[in-house]
Amino acid sequence: MSQINTAGRAGVQSSSPYDVDLVRKDFPILQQKMRGKRFVYLDNAATSLKPQSVIDAEIAYYTTMGANIHRGVYEFSERATLAFDAARESLRAFINVPEDGHIVFTKGATEGVNMVASGWGRRHLQSGDEIVTSELEHHANLVPWQELAREKGLVLKFLPIDPETGTLSLSGIEETITDRTRLVAITAMSNVTGYLPPVKEIVRIAHAHGAIVLVDGAQYVSHHKTDVTDLDCDFLVFSGHKMLGPTGTGVLYGKEACLDQMTPYNYGGDMIVKVYKDRATYRDIPERFEAGTPNVAGVIGLGAAVRYLLNLGMDNVATHERNLIRYLTAAAEDVPGIAVYATSDTEHLGGIFSFNLGDVHSHDTGAILDNEGIAVRTGFHCAQPYMRFLGIPGTVRASLYLYNTTEEIDIFIRALARVKEVFG
């Protein structure tokens, strides 16, 4: 078998800050074969694989607790409630929530954006107010604002992307955010290119104009140390399933002052204090925003995911992925006919690699990689405006996580040659 010596050639070193082989043993699905080949999972921006400890935590809820939270007076309900509350505490520590901030559990990042658009936007924005976002956004952080703008007669503005560098410039941000801006909704990491916009600067500029900021952390939070106290954003949304947690879990972080200005998204059980025939009073934050039985097993699993990540260390995760993306970028340079969609700012880059091979449609490249046991995402990645900006119908996207290895990248690079064999 021919070895591609990418590390030597490009001078890219890739010593991981932790033993990645040991980490891989924690993920049972990595033992599976796909299409009869070694399973190489490079679709982490879509969802992450789960370690045994997360799977065990979910099972433990069903096998040793079983009961609903906050209600029962018996031991098992008490056990479930404590486990649920412990997960919330783990999340608080994970993103360094300040005293006056809260973790609200959601179904995922999409629900978090919709809760703010509906609960805060509908109540506080009026005709002529401006919302600022960017063309980098995932549809989840764009379509809710479009709907709100249409309903309330708001102006939707976009931070300009520098066509040369593919990044958001400080001057562009300063020109776009004005005193008419009431809310800025921005991703902390592009799910197409891995670009990390200057979110802290955006928060500072928005606050100077009296606007609040919602940060879409769906891609960022699972890969980098996140400190909302330092970032000073007003809202942060992210999804549990992209950070080793169960599907159907997510977090809306908000400052108390902002959450307090929001109407609840759902009304019903578990969010009330007193209910009369014609009215009701509501519980404090965060329970006010968690009507109905939540995803108890999922949240407990998410708590286990956070403990796994904290144990590994988020700075270590970021370093590992940074090494991998540099290795991958260098290795791809020699692939004939490859077009890479990346910003020129390699200092602010997460573990995402978007590309096309010649004029081969991304779906076809994806199908050939699938046949080699490699999972990638193809198409427009829920970011049609950004695809239009790039002038392409779609890309192939390889996205990395803490369990990926340079060996897997070698397998991926070798498999790209198969695309040329089939499509010439």
Partner 1 sequence: MNLNEDLYKEIILDHYKSKKNRKRLPDAARHLEAANPSCGDDIDLYLEVENGKIQDAAFEGMGCSICLASADMMCDAFRGKTLAEANSLIDKFKGMLTRNEVPEFPDEAADLEAMQGVAKFPLRIKCALLAWTTAHQLVAEENKSEAEKSS
Residues that bind partner 1 (CB under 8 A): 35, 360-364, 367-368, 371, 378-380, 387, 393-394, 422-423
Structure tokens at 142: 């764009």
- Retrieve residue 332's tokens: 């791809």
* 242 close to 50: Cβ distance less than 8 angstroms: no
Residue 300 beta carbon to partner 1: minimum distance, rounded to whole angstroms: 32
**DSSP labels for 106-136?**
ES-HHHHHHHHIIIIIHHH--TT-EEEEETT
Between 237 and 387, name the residue whose CB sits nearer to partner 1: 387
Nearer to partner 1, 106 or 365 (CB): 365
Residue 319 buriedness (CB in 10 A; 0-12 / 13-18 / 19+): middle
Least Å distance, CB 415 to partner 1, is: 12
Of the candidates 89, 321, 96, 136, the residue with the CA atom closest to the CA atom of residue 231: 96
Computed over its alpha carbons, how large is the radius of gyration of the chain?
22
Token couple for 187? 């991703």
Pairwise CA distance, residues 241 & 46, whole Å: 9
In the complex, least distance from residue 387 CB atom to partner 1, rounded to whole angstroms: 8
43 forms beta bridges with 399
What strands, in cross-sheet order, belong to the sheet with 338-340?
A: 338-340, 352-357, 395-399, 377-379
* Residue 98 φ/ψ, nearest 5 degrees: -75, 170
Residues labelled catalytic: 382
Closer CB to partner 1, 351 or 394, in the complex: 394
Nearer to partner 1 among residue 46 and residue 318 (C-beta): 46
With DSSP H G I counted as helix, E B as strand and the rest as coil, what are the percentages for the chain, rounded to 5? 40, 20, 40
Rounded-to-integer distance, Cα 301 and Cα 295, Å: 10
Instruction: Give the nearer residue to partner 1 in terms of CB position, either 70 or 420.
Output: 420
Shortest reach from residue 422's CB to partner 1, in Å: 5
Nearer to partner 1, 139 or 204 (CB): 139
Nearer to partner 1, 238 or 412 (CB): 412
- CB of residue 210 to partner 1, shortest distance in Å: 38
204-to-78, 99, 289 alpha-carbon distances in Å: 43, 20, 27
Helix (H) or strand (E) holding 77: helix 75-94
Q: How far is the CB of 391 from partner 1 (least distance, A)?
A: 12
Q: Return the number of the residue (47 or 316) whose C-beta is nearest partner 1.
A: 47
Three-state DSSP state, 7: helix
Assign 43 to helix, strand or coil: strand
Alpha-carbon torsion, ordered 224, 229, 231, 236, to 10 deg: 70
Distances (CA, A) of 88 to 78, 113, 216: 15, 19, 19
Which residues are bridge partners to 215 per DSSP?
A: 186, 236
Q: How far is the CB of 153 from partner 1 (least distance, A)?
A: 28
Q: In angstroms, give the least distance from the CB of 421 to partner 1.
A: 9
